């Protein structure tokens, strides 16, 4: 009796799995009709999000972010450089997004993944559009000492984002990770040595300090994003990789904490986005921005307590 029950359960489970693999779109639509998703989430809810600051000790700023299974690790390195001629009083910010083969079965070693440069460009555009960082704050010109009149140097922020697990909504996780790492960033103290070069302060003699001590970067409005899938009359927030591959219309909306629209990104897709759908997505993103802001503030407060 027990044995036959066990085999019955196993066979019904196999049937569900077979249906999911053979008819993935119908499987999902059966769930959508009940306003639920195969992993149990309601349509408008994002997955569990966690932010961990200071994951890389050797970096000037770092963050590890997980949204569901999607995992992003960001590390920031700061260097002193000569600013460009067009903007001599500004530093610069460079963002690189990497998808190593460990993150997904479709990424092969060697050639970078197709999505890498696209997400990289999106991130650069989003952070520069939001004007979250004042690049003039990175400049080292204009110190009080008279001998600094000829000094021409500025900080350069180099940000590397690694995708450790690609399970959908890569841009969302990458943006939160980049923002969290920038909020954790400490600008190092630098000095000019006897040769006239700018080096990090290491306590040696003969170094003249240029800026006094480590300090945090000032962040203005912080951008957050939410990716939604449009499918027939449904809007699904924060899709997984499986949902993304089955339903092909994605809309990514980025709002900042002051309510400005930073980006509305819809690269084609079979479904057309009408005004009502756009407004619904903006509403969902607004809720998500409040949620993520509180997570980030909580994590930064915890870091302050630890220090």
Partner 1 sequence: METDRPDGRTPNQLRPLVCSCSILHRSHGSASWAQGETKVLAAVYGPKAGTKKSENPEKASIEVIWKPKTGQIGKVEKEYEMILKRTLESICIRTIYPNTTTSVIVQVVHDDGALLPCAINAACAALVDAGIPLKHLAVAICCSVTDSGCIILDPTKDEEEKMKAFINLVFPNTIVSVLPEGSLQAGSEPMAHGIMTSITQGAMSVDDYLHCLERGRAASARLSEFVRKNIELKSTSEASKAG
Question: Could you tell me the smallest distance in angstroms from the CB atom of residue 301 to partner 1?
Answer: 27
Q: Closest CB to partner 1 among 130 and 240?
A: 130
Contacts of 54 (CB under 8 A, 6+ apart): 62, 63, 184, 303
Distance of CA 274 to the CA centre of its chain: 27
Q: Closest CB to partner 1 among 158 and 264?
A: 264
Question: Could you tell me the smallest distance in angstroms from the CB atom of residue 42 to partner 1?
Answer: 23
> 174 near 123, Cβ under 8 Å?
yes
Q: Which two tokens stand for residue 213?
A: 């001590």
Question: Could you tell me the smallest distance in angstroms from the CB atom of residue 130 to partner 1?
Answer: 6
Q: Closest CB to partner 1 among 117 and 209?
A: 117
Question: Could you tell me the smallest distance in angstroms from the CB atom of residue 107 to partner 1?
Answer: 11
Q: Closest CB to partner 1 among 203 and 268?
A: 268
Q: Which two tokens stand for residue 169?
A: 């909504």
Q: Closest CB to partner 1 among 118 and 141?
A: 118
* Distance of alpha carbon 125 from alpha carbon 134, whole angstroms: 15
For residue 134, what is the DSSP state? -
The torsion angles phi and psi of 273, rounded to 5 degrees, stand at -95, 120
Question: Could you tell me the smallest distance in angstroms from the CB atom of residue 227 to partner 1?
Answer: 14
Nearest to 47 by CA among 224, 180, 237: 237
Handedness of CA 299, 75, 291, 221 (dihedral sign): positive
User: What residues make contact with partner 1 under the rule CB under 8 A?
Assistant: 106, 114, 117-118, 120-122, 124-125, 129-131, 251, 256, 259-270, 272-276, 278, 282
């Amino acid at each position: 009796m027990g044995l036959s029950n066990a085999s019955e359960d196993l066979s019904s489970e196999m049937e569900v799995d077979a249906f999911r693999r053979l008819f993935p779109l119908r499987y999902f639509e059966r769930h959508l009709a009940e306003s639920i998703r195969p992993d149990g989430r309601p349509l408008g809810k994002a997955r569990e999000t966690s932010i961990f600051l200071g994951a890389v000790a050797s970096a000037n700023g770092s963050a590890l972010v997980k949204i569901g299974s999607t995992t992003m690790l960001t590390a920031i390195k700061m260097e002193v450089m000569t600013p460009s001629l067009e903007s001599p009083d500004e530093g610069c910010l460079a963002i690189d997004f990497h998808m190593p083969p460990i993150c997904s079965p479709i990424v092969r070693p060697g050639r970078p993944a197709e999505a890498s440069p696209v997400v990289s460009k999106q991130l650069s555009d989003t952070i520069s559009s939001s004007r979250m960082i004042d690049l003039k704050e990175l400049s080292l010109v204009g110190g009080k000492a008279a001998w600094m009149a000829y000094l021409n140097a500025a900080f350069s922020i180099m940000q590397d984002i690694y995708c450790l697990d690609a399970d959908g909504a890569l841009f969302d996780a990458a943006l939160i990770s980049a923002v969290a790492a920038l909020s954790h960033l400490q600008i190092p103290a630098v000095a000019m040595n006897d040769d006239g070069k700018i080096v990090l302060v290491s306590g040696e003699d003969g170094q003249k300090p240029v800026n006094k001590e480590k300090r945090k970067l000032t962040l203005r409005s912080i951008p957050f994003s939410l990716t939604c899938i449009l499918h027939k009359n449904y809007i699904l927030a924060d899709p997984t990789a499986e949902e993304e591959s089955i339903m092909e219309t994605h809309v990514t909306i980025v709002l900042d904490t002051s309510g400005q629209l930073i980006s509305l990104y819809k690269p084609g897709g079979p479904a057309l986005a009408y005004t009502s759908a756009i407004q619904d997505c903006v509403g969902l993103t607004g809720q998500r921005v409040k949620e993520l802001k509180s997570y980030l503030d909580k994590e930064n407060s915890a870091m302050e307590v630890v220090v």
